[in-house]
Chains A and B, each alone.
Chain A
């Protein structure tokens, strides 16, 4: 029997939270009579699965797919079916999907409205290209443009976030006649040649020539050198422009909340100051909304709105189609004109099926008030996670090791939340191994959570936006239970 101890720090206002946490978690009795949290009920039975098993699939993956393809978990999970915020494995076991296929499934797996739109359109016309007219693309472009402020109303459809960011970067360079682009350290913008340059984490950067991108200091409130002083970080942009470029730049690209980088919210006050410097240098401001967009942050539809800025170009993907391969770039008519100098064409981009799905997604988000749900449930979840952070201040793994702290930081907004695990709260030493253990245990208990951050020590919580309070409770209880057992 594993004996463990937790040291709790009960602060004044936190007491109520403790009581609720404790009441939901089993008290450790003398002889480990604990009950595990139960997944919220869900009135649905998945169809029986008769396909290949995990082992067969793994074997084929090893033989026929990229060797750099990774899976989560010691025993990779064979996910065969999804319904709203739940996923099912080959045995029909249900899991709470707290990752959403990486912030992608926003309406919910196999949401009936989205599936209907896809099926109906697929039965009608899958593909013809924009050489011919079709209303699906225009209806969606119209609806999408109506969600954006200012003069942002010309839409280019692509098939992924990478393609969208590549196009945005090219447009900025063409529009300004300059080549230098600034992005933030710890950013992720894609994996093609140009976007790999903008991406700024060595794990994702291959040893190939990547020109024309300058990486500015990351306004990371948790790990950054200036804490939460947004304006101090923005000075680095000024510096880069003055000393690293001709004084004129093509543009600046950033995520409002860094996704792959570990749910890092840009320090308050940063973007307005950065945008100002970039515009003074003639550059365009590109907002990468691939993860933060479509109501995920709860408080706003777009991540950039929470910073009080209006970009010149907005890129999006992932949630835009609830998982269908689709991306988009929205910009002003003036900037869009640069592409008339030559021809830009995307064979699959804007095809009837993907645009029909995209339109259905917008309608679902509106009708089911998913942005509001992201705000309400997301805030509730964040509060519970903060409480958990205060609780798991110290973990004793076994008799010889004792960690000073475990949850270093809880951050994010709406349903884009991050929980950073550290082995020392002061030194912020990343708990790289411990997180894997917790993640695995959580999976065994029925929660599929995401992981990210440069050190791989941040839990990423980006569920389908139909996530409920009960789901949030389950997630936190399982995390608590797992950490308590360590």
Chain B
């Protein structure tokens, strides 16, 4: 619970939607509460355990560190497109999408169809045998990538993807030091905890040679939106904190867990240059920003006009399937060929089929454009809201990756932790 209050802003990362948003009245009075847009679907009747029973079992079997939202935790039993249903059949607008994960929509029929069909044929055999789904999916994914980024490694989560990316960077460069941004989140394993730079998530264990550079945060950063000054800090770290040579640099283009923080414009171009001169590779963590979510581009890094050497992805890649991927260049991939690198579940037929279906849905239903349209509408409305409520310190993000930072004092930017909760 305490950790939730530590989050400085509530990120409103809306699920992609087919329907138009309701044109609500501006300057709505407190007398008429807004109504959920209509949705021609009735949830299936729920006869399973209720919230209290589930909560009791969680406390008993899932450990004291497991947290949840809300004073009265919500028992979510069904999902359909951008809506979730609780145990009593009540419908909610899902504006978080299982943490930026459900990209096509809960139980999207095409994705569902692919998963169900493949589950009936073959769940698992591993890549020691051939199967077409992994190859088809890899090809399609690679076609979405610019430059020479076309060798795909499938894993089971964003953490695994970032672990692999870090390994690649160190092997390829022959160097040790990694650079990551303060306020970043890259994973929960011992090594990715090192890259992660938010103390909530960092256990007190050794984390290797990792340098956390000043976060180019336009709202709270010491240099505002001045990318040059932030880039200088990176150069400083390289010159004074390392041998002058580094393994690599990793960043989310819009920090997710960190509060939908967009990197100051022009930042990545400058930093990529510095890092490459120091022998390092550039890793783009697209776990949250990928797959058209930003609206303007398919990948977050494209919004900064750069091409990384390694791209990691997860979350939205499978609409909720446990799936992650790393895409890199043949040159870097060849270095990995020195030893055996194997992932038992990675690239299994069901997840690959699901992933391929997701890519097709995103294309067919023009979701990226939709994110741009609905996202800009949403952001505009939130900015209007900001005019009327002092509590809203900042509205930021792009497409359907939006953040609203609540503060009790606009000048001091004092986090409104209690109010947000």
Q: Interface residues, chain A, CB within 8 Å of chain B?
A: 47, 51-52, 54, 56-58, 60-61, 63-72, 76-82, 87, 101-102, 104-105, 109-110, 115, 118-119, 122-135, 137-139, 141-142, 145, 153-156, 159-163, 166-167, 169-170, 173-174, 179, 191-194, 202-209, 211-212, 317-318, 322-326, 333, 336-337, 339-351, 354, 448
Given known A66-B336, A127-B102, A163-B157, contact A80–B163 (CB-CB < 8 A): no
Q: B160 at interface (Cβ–Cβ under 8 A)? A: yes
**A124 proximity list for chain B (CB < 8 A):** 44, 77-79, 107
Report B145-187 CB contacts with A as 1/0, cut-off 8 Å: 0000011110111111001101100110000100000000000
The residue in chain B whose Cβ has the minimal distance to the Cβ of A140 is: B61
Q: B279 at interface (Cβ–Cβ under 8 A)? A: no
The residue in chain B whose Cβ has the minimal distance to the Cβ of A59 is: B135
Smallest CB-CB A-B distances: 5 pairs? A323-B124, A127-B320, A339-B65, A138-B57, A60-B135
Interchain CA distance A158-B330 in the complex, whole Å: 30
User: Which residue of B55, B62, B122, B156 is within 8 Å of A141 (Cβ)?
Assistant: B62
Interchain CA distance A192-B358 in the complex, whole Å: 27
For this complex, 17 residue pairs linking A to B, each with C-beta atoms less than 8 Å apart, are A56-B132, A60-B138, A64-B135, A66-B336, A68-B338, A69-B127, A77-B130, A126-B320, A129-B98, A133-B58, A155-B61, A203-B340, A205-B339, A209-B170, A333-B63, A344-B188, A346-B188
Residue pair A79, B58 in contact (C-beta under 8 Å):
no
**A153 proximity list for chain B (CB < 8 A):** 60-61
Residue pair A58, B130 in contact (C-beta under 8 Å):
yes
Residue pair A80, B124 in contact (C-beta under 8 Å):
no
Residue pair B61, A161 in contact (C-beta under 8 Å):
no
Interchain CA distance A473-B191 in the complex, whole Å: 47
Interchain CA distance A336-B55 in the complex, whole Å: 17
Q: B139 at interface (Cβ–Cβ under 8 A)? A: yes
Interchain CA distance A318-B142 in the complex, whole Å: 28
Interchain CA distance A61-B150 in the complex, whole Å: 11
Q: B75 at interface (Cβ–Cβ under 8 A)? A: yes
Given known A76-B130, A191-B341, contact A122–B159 (CB-CB < 8 A): no
Q: B39 at interface (Cβ–Cβ under 8 A)? A: no
Residue pair A207, B61 in contact (C-beta under 8 Å):
no
**A194 proximity list for chain B (CB < 8 A):** 189-191
The residue in chain A whose Cβ has the minimal distance to the Cβ of B328 is: A66
**A145 proximity list for chain B (CB < 8 A):** 61
Minimum Cβ distance to chain A for residue B45 (Å):
12
Residue pair B136, A80 in contact (C-beta under 8 Å):
no
Given known A132-B69, A134-B54, A325-B322, contact A71–B128 (CB-CB < 8 A): yes
Residue pair A324, B123 in contact (C-beta under 8 Å):
yes
Interchain CA distance A194-B191 in the complex, whole Å: 7
**A160 proximity list for chain B (CB < 8 A):** 155-157, 160, 343-345
Interchain CA distance A342-B203 in the complex, whole Å: 6
Minimum Cβ distance to chain A for residue B15 (Å):
11
The residue in chain A whose Cβ has the minimal distance to the Cβ of B94 is: A128
Given known A82-B123, A104-B344, contact A133–B131 (CB-CB < 8 A): no
Chain B: interface size category: 35 or more
User: Which residue of B76, B151, B189 is within 8 Å of A125 (Cβ)?
Assistant: B76
**B107 proximity list for chain A (CB < 8 A):** 122-126
The residue in chain B whose Cβ has the minimal distance to the Cβ of A124 is: B78
**B152 proximity list for chain A (CB < 8 A):** 64-66
Residue pair A193, B163 in contact (C-beta under 8 Å):
yes
Q: Interface residues, chain B, CB within 8 Å of chain A?
A: 3, 44, 48-49, 51, 53-55, 57-58, 60-69, 73-79, 84, 96, 98-99, 101-102, 106-107, 112, 115-116, 119-132, 134-136, 138-139, 141-142, 150-153, 155-160, 163-164, 166-167, 170-171, 176, 188-191, 199-206, 208, 314-315, 319-323, 330, 333-334, 336-345, 347-348, 350-351
Minimum Cβ distance to chain B for residue A267 (Å):
27
**A66 proximity list for chain B (CB < 8 A):** 151-153, 333, 336-337, 341
Residue pair A193, B203 in contact (C-beta under 8 Å):
no
Residue pair B336, A347 in contact (C-beta under 8 Å):
no
Interchain CA distance A160-B320 in the complex, whole Å: 16
Extra inter-chain contacts (19) besides given A160-B160, A448-B129, CB under 8 Å: A67-B333, A68-B336, A81-B122, A101-B125, A101-B344, A110-B122, A115-B119, A124-B78, A125-B78, A126-B107, A137-B62, A154-B63, A169-B190, A173-B205, A202-B339, A324-B345, A340-B65, A343-B67, A347-B158
**B122 proximity list for chain A (CB < 8 A):** 79-82, 87, 109-110
User: Which residue of B125, B153, B342, B351 is within 8 Å of A82 (Cβ)?
Assistant: B125
The residue in chain B whose Cβ has the minimal distance to the Cβ of A110 is: B120
The residue in chain A whose Cβ has the minimal distance to the Cβ of B96 is: A131
Given known A101-B126, A138-B61, A192-B160, contact A341–B203 (CB-CB < 8 A): yes
Minimum Cβ distance to chain B for residue A85 (Å):
13
Minimum Cβ distance to chain B for residue A376 (Å):
25
**B170 proximity list for chain A (CB < 8 A):** 208-209
Given known A65-B135, A139-B49, A205-B339, contact A102–B63 (CB-CB < 8 A): no
Minimum Cβ distance to chain B for residue A148 (Å):
11
**A64 proximity list for chain B (CB < 8 A):** 135, 138-139, 141-142, 150-152
Residue pair A208, B167 in contact (C-beta under 8 Å):
yes
Residue pair B339, A159 in contact (C-beta under 8 Å):
no
**B3 proximity list for chain A (CB < 8 A):** 342-343
Given known A153-B61, A212-B206, contact A131–B69 (CB-CB < 8 A): yes
The residue in chain B whose Cβ has the minimal distance to the Cβ of A52 is: B132
Given known A101-B126, A325-B322, contact A336–B65 (CB-CB < 8 A): yes
**B106 proximity list for chain A (CB < 8 A):** 125-127
Residue pair B63, A156 in contact (C-beta under 8 Å):
yes
**A167 proximity list for chain B (CB < 8 A):** 189
Given known A78-B131, A160-B160, contact A174–B203 (CB-CB < 8 A): yes
Residue pair B128, A70 in contact (C-beta under 8 Å):
yes
Interchain CA distance A326-B124 in the complex, whole Å: 12
**A323 proximity list for chain B (CB < 8 A):** 123-124, 345, 348
Given known A64-B151, A122-B115, contact A138–B156 (CB-CB < 8 A): no
Minimum Cβ distance to chain A for residue B229 (Å):
31
Given known A126-B319, A132-B75, contact A324–B135 (CB-CB < 8 A): no
Residue pair B76, A155 in contact (C-beta under 8 Å):
no
Minimum Cβ distance to chain B for residue A87 (Å):
7
**B77 proximity list for chain A (CB < 8 A):** 124-125, 134-135
Interchain CA distance A105-B177 in the complex, whole Å: 40
Interchain CA distance A142-B59 in the complex, whole Å: 11
Residue pair B65, A344 in contact (C-beta under 8 Å):
yes
**B155 proximity list for chain A (CB < 8 A):** 160
Interchain CA distance A401-B152 in the complex, whole Å: 44
User: Which residue of A115, A126, A135, A318 is within 8 Å of B344 (Cβ)?
Assistant: A318
Interchain CA distance A174-B190 in the complex, whole Å: 11
Interchain CA distance A333-B153 in the complex, whole Å: 36
Interchain CA distance A358-B340 in the complex, whole Å: 29
